[in-house]
Structure 1
Amino acid sequence: MIVFEGNNRVVFGENTLSELEFSIYQKKMNSPLAYQYDSLGTLLFELDMRTQIVESSRALSKSGVYFAGFDNTQCNPAYWHLTNHGRYQLKPGVAPQDAIRDIFKNGTSYAFECSMAVVIIMYKAILESIDARQFDILFSDLLLFDWHSNSNLHLIDRDVIEEAVSGDIIYFENPEYEPTIPWGKGENVIMMENDHYYGHGYGLDLASEQQVIMILNKHRMPGSTQSAFRTDRFVHPDFSYFSLFQSSKRRQPIIAKVGEAIYVQQGWTQPKSGR
C-alpha cells in the first residue's frame, strides 16, 4: 500500500495519470508492503520518472547504438574519452546533458554492453525529469560504466521480485554460460509494460521473460543442465532524492483535500528539458 500524509486516500481526476502511471500506482497501492512517501508530489514525481525510464528505453532501442563487449566499446570522441576499461569519461568543457543526449542522437557512434545501456537509460530519464542545469551540476564529472560503478544514480536494492514495476532494473542470470562468450553471463533489462523487458544486445529489444531466458540459454556450455533465470533482485533510483532537483517551471497538479481524501486534477506535466 501507499502511505503518506497521515494515510490519506487519493482520488485522481480523469486523465491525471497516464495508463502506465496508473498501473504502477495501482500495483503499489494493492501491495501488502508499505511504500512511504513524504508528499503527494514525491509520488507523482516517481510515476513520471518511471515513465521517462520506459520512454528512454524505447528511445535507446531506436537510436542505432550497437552491442559490444567491454573490449570493443565505442563512443563519440567529441563528448567522451574512452578509458582502457571501456568506460566513458566526460570530456572537459562538455555539458553532461549534451553528452547524454548525443548517445540518443548519434547512436551509430556508440557501442556498449547491457549494463552500460541501463546506466545510460537512467541518466537520460533523470535528465528528462529534473532541471537540466541541476543535472549538469550533479553529474559534472560524469563517468559511464555499469550500474555497480555509478553510485551517483542513488540506486536502491530490492529483493521481492513480485514488487517490481515498470522502470525497475532487473537481472537475468545464466549460471552455466559459455566462458568464451562472457556477455552470455546474464542480461540487465528494464521492466517495461505488460510483463515485457527492454534489453540491449542479442537483438532483444522488447522481450518477454521466456524470450530473454531462451536467448541466454543459447550461450550455455555444452552439456549444461541449469537454465538461465530471472533473479529476485532488482534496483531503481532513489526517486525521492531526485525529486529535490525538479524544475521550478514544472506545472503542479490541482490538489484539494476534503476530509480524509485528497483529490488530484490534471495539470502536473513534464516540460521539455533545456538550459
Structure 2
Amino acid sequence: MIQLPPSEVAGVGSLDLTTMERQILLQMQQSSEIYAYDSVAVLEFELKTRSDIVASAMALNNSGATFATFEGSYCNERYWQLQPNGAFRLRGGVTPAEGITDIFRNGRLYAFECATAMVIVLYKAVLGAIGEASFNTYFGGLVLYDWQYDSDLRIISRTRGTSYPGDVRYFNNPDFNPTNPEWRGENAIQLPGGLYYAHGLGIRRPEEILRILNMRRRPGSLTPAHLLEQYEVLDYAYTYRLKSGVARIGGQVFVLG
C-alpha cells in the first residue's frame, strides 16, 4: 500500500501518468508492502524516474555500445580518459552531462562490462530527472568503473519484496566456467512486460538470460544459474531533493538559489 500525509492523498488521482507508470502505481497500491512518501510530488518523481531508467536502458541497448571485460574496455577519449584498470575518467573541461550523453550518442566508440552499464543507465536517468544544471553540480569528476559511483547516486539494496521496472536485478551463475569469468553473472535492468536489459545480451526474457548463463557453466556442473532475490533501487526521495535544489557538498548541505 502507499502511505501519504492525509492532505496529499487526493492528489494521487490527478497524476498524469503513462501506462507503465500507472501499472506500477496500481501494483504498489494493491501490495501488502508499505511504500511511504512525504508528498505526492515525491511519488510522482519516482514513477517518472522509473520511466527514465527504462528509456535509458533501451537507449543504451540501441546505442551501439558493446560488452567488454575491464581489460578490453574503451571509450571516446574526447570526453573520457581510459584508465589502466579499464575505468573511464571524465576529462577536464567536459561536464558530467556531456560525458554521459556522449555514451548514448556515440555508443559505437564505447565498450564496457555489465555493472558499468547499469551505473551509466542510472546516471542518464538521473540526468533526465533532475536536469543538466543540477546534474553537473552534483556529479562532477565522474569515474565509470564497475559498481563504483558518485556518492550522490544513492542506491538502496533490498533483499526481499517486490521489484519494479527501473530496478536492477542480478542473474547469478555460481558454477561459471573459470576460463570465462565474465559469465559469473549478469546485471540487468528490469523492464515492463517481464523483460530485462542485460548489457551484451540485449533485451530478453529471464529464461533466455538463464539459458545463456547455463551454457557457460563449468563442465559437469549441476548448479544452475538463478535470479537473486536481492535487487538495487535508486533512492528516489534523495534524488528528488537534488532536483529541488538541496545540495550536499562534502559534509554540508546547501540550498541552491
TM norm structure 2: 0.91
Tell me how far 1:28 sits from its aligned partner. Answer: 1.2
- Matching of residue 121 in structure 1 with residue 121 in structure 2: yes
Give the Cα–Cα distance (whole angstroms) in 2 for the partners of residues 120 and 237 of structure 1: 13
| Structure 1 residue 4 displacement after superposition | 1.1
Listed as ranges, the matches of 1:246-261 within 5 Å are: 246=243
- For 1:213-252, list aligned pairs within 5 A: 213-246=210-243
**SS of match in other structure, 1:20:** helix
Q: How does 1:80-99 map to 2 (within 5 A)?
A: 80-99=80-99
Alignment of 1:1-275 (within 5 A): 1-6=1-6, 8=9, 11-13=12-14, 16-160=16-160, 162-201=161-200, 204-246=201-243
Residues 1:144 and 1:232: Cα distance change in structure 2 (over 3 Å): same
Q: Distance in 1 between matches of 2:123 and 2:196?
A: 18
Give the C-alpha shift of residue 152 in structure 1. 3.2
1: CA distance, partners of 2:80 / 2:183: 27
Which letter maps to 2:168? I
Secondary structure of the equivalent of 2:183?
helix
Aligned-partner SS, 1:190: strand
Write the deviation string for residues 116-165 of structure 1: whole angstroms up to 9, x where unpaired.
111100000000000211100111111111225554311011112x5000
Q: Which amino acid aligns with 1:170?
A: R
**Quick one: distance in 2 between partners of 1:8 and 1:102?**
40
Mapped partners of 1:28, 1:193: distance in 2: 15
Counterparts of 1:41 and 1:207 in 2: how far apart (Å)?
33
Counterpart of 1:57, as a letter, is A
8 Å contact kept, 2:173–2:183: yes
Tell me: higher relative CO, structure 1 or 2? Use CA pairs within 8 A at least 6 residues apart. Answer: 1
For 2:192, what is the secondary structure of its paired residue?
coil
Secondary structure at the counterpart of residue 231 of structure 1: strand
Q: Which stretch shifts more, 204-213 or 166-175?
A: 204-213
Partner of 2:248: none
Judge conservation of contact 1:131–1:245 (CA < 8 Å) in 2. no
SS in 1 for 2:186: strand
Contact 1:156/1:238, CA 8 A, preserved across alignment: yes
Runs (5+) with no aligned partner, structure 2: 246-257
Unaligned runs of 5+ residues in structure 1 are 249-275
Cα distance in 2 for partners of 1:27, 1:9 equals 18
SS state at 2:103 partner? helix
| Contact map agreement 1:217 1:228 (CA 8 A) in 2 | yes
In the alignment, residue 183 of structure 2 is paired with which amino acid? G
Identity of aligned residues (%): 39
* CA distance in 1: counterparts of 2:12 and 2:124, whole angstroms: 30
Equivalent position of 1:251 in the other structure:
none
Contact 1:144–1:150 (Cα < 8 Å) also in 2: no
Tell whether the 8 Å contact from 2:12 to 2:40 is kept in structure 1 after alignment: no
The worse-fitting range, judged by mean Cα deviation, of 3-12 and 231-240 is 3-12
Task: State the Cα deviation string for residues 65-122 of structure 1 (Å, max 9, x = none).
Answer: 0110010000011111111111111111111100000000000100011111111000
TM-score for both structures, normalised by structure 1:
0.85
User: Conserved in 2, the CA contact under 8 Å of 1:131 and 1:247?
Assistant: no
SS at match of 1:157: strand
CA distance in 2, matches of 1:18, 1:12: 13
